Amino acid sequence: MTVRVRRTTPRWHTHELRLGTDEVTKRYHDTQAEPAEREWRALVLLQRHAPGLAPRPLRRTPGRHPDLVMSRLPGEPLRGTPVAGPALVALADSVARLLDAV
């Protein structure tokens, strides 16, 4: 007997991540060519106008499942953690630098 599972909820993520030592590869799903291109352009602009603020764009492969390869940033993710003290100052400085660059 074969059972087919039908997706009843929308996909809640747009890509898969592969974390290397020095690189991160982001593979977008087959309907995600436009967001991949938009992110690539943003990384290129940030590299040009605010180097060091975001990952460095390394390469991309277009197609049905576009890949973006970027440098891996040092540090720990802040997701879900309170940000205070020096980390908060660094975050505010980074946001100000981003806004100045764009």
* pTM for this prediction: 0.77
Task: Choose among 25, 36, 14, 39: nearest CA to 71.
Answer: 25
Q: Which of 7-16, 24-33, 80-89 has the lowest mean pLDDT?
A: 7-16
What's the one-letter identity of residue 80?
Answer: G
C-alpha 28, offset from chain centre = 11
Q: Is position 5 within any domain?
A: no
Q: Write out pLDDT tens, residues 63-94.
A: 888 899 999 998 888 788 898 999 899 999 99
Domain-embedded: residue 9: no
The count of domains in the chain is: 1
Assign residue 26 the CATH number of its domain.
3.30.200
Check residue 1 and give its pLDDT: 41
**Residue 4 in domain:** no
Rg (CA), the chain: 17
Q: What is the pLDDT of residue 3?
A: 41
How far apart (Å, rounded) are the C-alpha atoms in residues 47 and 57?
8
Residue type, 95: V
Structure tokens at 46: 């940030």
Q: Is residue 37 part of a domain?
A: yes
Does a structural domain hold residue 23?
yes
Residue 56 sits in which domain range? Answer: 15-74+82-101
For residue 4, pLDDT over 50 is answered with: no
